[in-house]
Structure 1
Amino acid sequence: MTDQAVATAGSRRFFGRQRELKALRADIERTGLDTLTGRKAPRARVLLVAGRPGSGRTALAEELAAGVADRYPDGIVRARLTEPGGAPVPVARAAQELLAALGVPEPPGAAEDELTELVRGAFAGRRAVLILDDAVDAEQADPLIPDEPGTLVIGVSGGPLTGIPDVRPCTLGGLDPKSAIELLSAFTGSVRITVDPQAAETLVEECGGLPAAVVLAGGWLSTHPKTSVADLAKRLRASSGDPLVRAFRLAHEALPPTAARILRFLALAPLGRADAHTASALAGCSVSAAATTLADFAALGLVSAGEDGQYEVRAHLVPLLRARLEECDRPSEVQLARARMLERTVRLLQSCRAVTEPEGSPARRKLAGLPRALRFPTAAAGAAWLETRRPVLLASARLAVADGELDTLARRLIASLVKALAAHRGAEAAAPELYGLHRLVLDVAERRGLHRERAAALLNLADLDARTGRTKDALLRYRLALEAGRAANDPYATGRAMESVGGSYQELGDWQRAGDWYGRALAQRLARDERADQARLYARLGAVQTYAGRYGEALRNWRAAAAGYRRLSDLPGYARALSEAARVQEYAGRPEESLRTCEEAVEWARRAQDVRLQAALRLRLADTLDRLGDPAAARLHRAGAERLLETAPPAYEIRSGLIED
């Protein structure tokens, strides 16, 4: 909870804590231990706001950051280190959140150490404020603290972060009576407080000065205009337990049964965030009714209203809501609510992807049949929704997999999310998120013994490993995918895995093993008469044999690849294969044959009307003519290549490793 309240006009205000703010501002200027010993400060200045949940610790951190923002022109960056239910956020995930906020790309599948190093590097030279909200301990927060003296770190925690040097906590208790009454009057109005100021003092005393409890009390009074402040104070005094628990109990019991049920089910919302669709699916009510109820909850201080129609359940209320959920609702109802929420998310993701398809496509026709509330009017609207909901959607996938009882829905959700991210952001930009999603698919597949899905997830993960230079990791995963593909009797997965194992060995420079695995993959393609794959594998075999210096074998395979491409009427592929055969002939000391083969390749590139390829081949032909002692002919071909390039994009580069899937 925060020291903030939603006033009748909808504005947000900060109440009290002036002494704490003054102390924290002074602490920014305090001489550190490093300075006292004559050394330059090696890290950012770290301030700590400590207090129990609901004490207003996050609001104080935000108020402090806003007050000093003019001294830190690079802005305020935030990361929450605890899930709404109390589970610690993994350091790697917090680092990913910070990198996204800083606009720094992350390598897919990067380890925790690499991600935290990227975070610290991203703050180098910046004057910014970093808020680490709800840190569990020093081990969680310390890796995220930048090595940049110009950055200010404001930690928020339940207690001291022992282990982080030179940090003095600012420990929060209750609000002073005057500030607590001001917070209360933001909900009740000043008249009810003025007519009985002593009752107001008694009420905030019963709330322990805890801002979260005061807000709930104020919200309760706002819905009971005929009840006096003194009556509410008596009710709280008659109840037992912690002030926050007592205030929450009254607020929950005051709600109509339907609204109370919606509130309890919000404890299931990923990251504690819900929009009208999420609340509607959880409670099984209409979207409009859910939207109205969420707005009412915001006015009562039960949730905070965010941008784009999203609401966030107060973090300190989530454990209380979950406890009430267990008391009031059957497990079958809770599981059904989860299933409805996931199914609604799947439909929204499918709609989000479909809006990127061309008009008249099957996906767009299917989209037109959906209810209006589930449709996006434009691709831009779908992209905006996906971007603002991305953290929640990723959390939904994690929660669905962790549930363990909704694996079919979890797989559908992940598949829909992968497609939507790829459609709107592109596979390259979305690679970090896709890596995490493929890991989740792998978890489900291994738990359920789904060999085909396990093979697919391993192949996808290995591809991302290979793209980021983790070739040995990719090799291990490709081998595991091969085992899974064989267990599933999936020829596509086994063939793809064998070829990828060969590609990994080729990347590692082990030509012998690369050729062996390409040969195994080729044997399978030959047995299944998959001609396009055969041609590609002949080419890959030719490439590794060229690297290994086995020119006779390389030439045979390049010729086989050329023949395969010609049978497929793939003229550019045929021309490239001929060009590589010419290269091998030149390496083997047969320049005249190389010249004839290269001329043939140029002719086929011309027939294919591939201008870039034709220009590149003519340049290669010019190099060959130079080596054969015919500079005049070489100049003619270079001039022809230049003319081609004047009307074409940059020339096509021909390399031995060119032909890959």
Structure 2
Amino acid sequence: MEFRLLGPLEVEHEGETPAVGGRRQRSVLAALLLRANSVAGIGYLAEAVWEKPPVAPESNIRTYVAGLRRMFGAIGEDRLATRSGGYLLTVHRGELDLEVFEEQAGLGNQAWQRGDFAAAAGHFERAAGLWRGRPLAGLSPGPVLRAEIARLEDVRLTAAERHAHARIELGRPETAVGDLRVLLAEHPLREQLWVTLMLALQHAGRQVEALDAFSLARQHLVTELGVEPGARLRQVHQDILAGESAPPAQAETGAWRQLPMDIGEFVGREAELRTLHALAEPDSPTAVVISAIHGMAGVGKTRLAVHVAHQLVSTGRFDEIQLWADLRGFDAERPPVASTAVLENFLRLLGVAGQHIPQELESRAALYRSRLAGRRALVLLDNAATEDQVRHLLPGGPSSLVLITSRRSLSGLAGARELPVDVLPQQEAVALLARIVGDDRVADEPRAAARVAELCGGLPIAVSLAARRLRMRPTWTVEDLATRLQGTDRRLDQLAPGTHELDALFTMSYRALPPAHQRMFRLLGLHPGSDFTAGPAAALAATTPEEAELQLETLLDEHLLEQTTAGRYRFHDLVRSFARARARNHETRRALHRLLTWYLHAAESARGVFDPRRVRIVPLHPLPAECIVPRFVGHEEALAWYESERTTLRAVVETAAEAGLPEVSWQLAWVMLSFYYRRSHWDDWIATFRVALAATRSLGERRGEGIIWRGLGVAYSDLRQFATAIECHHRAQALLAEAGDRHGQAWNLNNLGVAYVDLGRLAKAAGCFHRALALFRETGDRQGEGLSLNNLGDTYRRLDEPARAAGRLEQALTVQRENDDRTGLQFTLGTLGDIHHDAGRHDQARRRYEEALAISRELGDQRTTARMLANLAQALDAQGHHGQARARRQEAVAILDELGDPHADVVRERLG
């Protein structure tokens, strides 16, 4: 196969170009190709497809991926696999034009830098031959793809400029002129292209045309941007006027040396230096080397990074470019530096004029990576606050090294190799003391010097300050200094300032807030989830969602909250601790009660929309009058809310149990059963129900305990752990009978029967369904009645009694249609399809499966969708439509794999 991105997106297989699908499906394929042979996460794909991704994009992306799988399946290729958190597209070497282009451009850059212009010209020529127009032309790309397009355009232009330089060096300047004029027609504001054209014309003996080119360049810049040509363009113009000729390979500036100065007082850290030198050696031919140095304030991270940077540069390893930025992540006076600002400064240092610097962060980062591609660059990022602050400041290629310092571990930074820095061992601390004092006193009093080092805790900044104090007092002995330090902890604090910088920074921001915003900030620290919206914030503060949103936006502006997607907010972990520490006891319990109860009623509100026929069997813990419960429109909105709040809902169940609200804990777990069942989130399901069990027992709530055991039985049955499932159902039945809950017993018997069916114990299953049916009719539960009739019909089918089975299923259809129970209807239609399939009536079976499949998709029931797809594949196979059957099975496997459903292996086996 061949995949082409350097122009309109194309796929070619054996001379044919299969249809890729609509605009968004094509964007998904493009994003997968850009991450070929690596897992592309859902968030990344969403940013590639949408300008503003939906709250829960997983379902849409799954649909597009399914379409791509059908496309690959139709041509007999199995390239697209589901992985944890995303998808992996397999592309073989040489199949993707972008990979070949970047390889050739990279080889060209390497040859150009070592002065092998013949080899460079050959590689650049091959790279240029792959270009077919603007990358991904015809798509409406999201931010991720737009940034990639900008990056590729810059890589192309840089390669074209160096290609021209190489041809000039080889004595063929005329061959470069035409190509440069074509590029300038597309990019008339790129000054380096004009510089290269003028040099080519000059070396071809066409000085007049070179001067005309300068006039045309100036006209474009002045007319369109209102700026004069930059320094390099003006210099080339002056050189031509003076009849001078600059060496063409020097058309680009060669080095930027931004490192802070090293210090003569540096001592020790031999182990750390060895580690950093070893880490600077790339162990991958394609990956940038990133070293993250972290440790407490004052431990000497910056000094270590600067020292090793100077050592590496002195060996010639990164002598071409050195960039440095203080990110101010822990500055008590000023906020951290934004990545956009750092990128602007770096781009200017790398020769990009201000008017050519993009506004978007992703586009700036793409241009920055392009400028450093193939260069021997060392980037030192000092005092980083978070991974996000540095993520866009990382080069993209193996010729660069990044050194990062931070007070916290940056373990979330992909590809970073961490170096924790501890306090100095005593010997190195004493050596530092002696180096700064500069006389014989430390050597003369080794015991006192060791005590000073110990009193300073081995913290380099404290040792340095103590040493300077001693140096300024030549009449003191080292013992005098030790005595003074030992006599007061406050003095030691003064010698090691900066240990409370974070607290000071947060305190300054907090105190600047109005009282209502301070209160909101404090209360948000109680929220148990990783992020939140205005709804729960309003419940915490007993205000309206509209007012809560205004306050959240203010906290966002003050850098006390972060935002990843529109409408959702989160704390940095350290800020959360700061906020929680300031929550006042008298407001904590009431606010937490409002919050936890709000989640209970919000979850029930959403459940009532996508599962309206399920009877509410438990009166919910009452909602405080100040709380406003959200309302949902349609299945998709309700399910999207559950997906976006899933991890928080689990945390709420746990927090409610711990916070003295066990009734909220177990009731919320029960409410979430419909969602867990529909989306197969088994880990969350079992974890929350186990917490709920303990909550019911703490209350002595025997009926509630039975209800929770019943839900656990369903979960274990779905996981095919039937022995455990049956034990759960037996426990539930005893408790529900003790409580006199006949309706609860009906559901439990129905679920127990399902477990017996899966075990092949059909007589026991039929007995359970008969008893359940009688109890459903007695208690007036029409949904339960329809389901038990369907289950009886399926059991009779398995017992080879098709007439009895059909009778029960027709009764189920009547009940479900009268009750508009589409959840139950999908199962009954599927069972009718099974009966027709068993009898060889494959057309009728196919129609029933397709009806059931349409309802499952409408309801967002992924597991039933997958099972109906697998059943439909059987009917299609029986009709001889093997290609369609394979495509349906592949779609089913993809969904089941993503759900972690063990039934995936059964379906996969039939793919062969």
Larger RCO of the pair (alpha carbons < 8 Å, separation 6+): 1
* Larger gyration radius, structure 1 or structure 2: 2
What is the TM-score of this pair, normalised by structure 1? Answer: 0.45
What is the TM-score of this pair, normalised by structure 2? Answer: 0.35
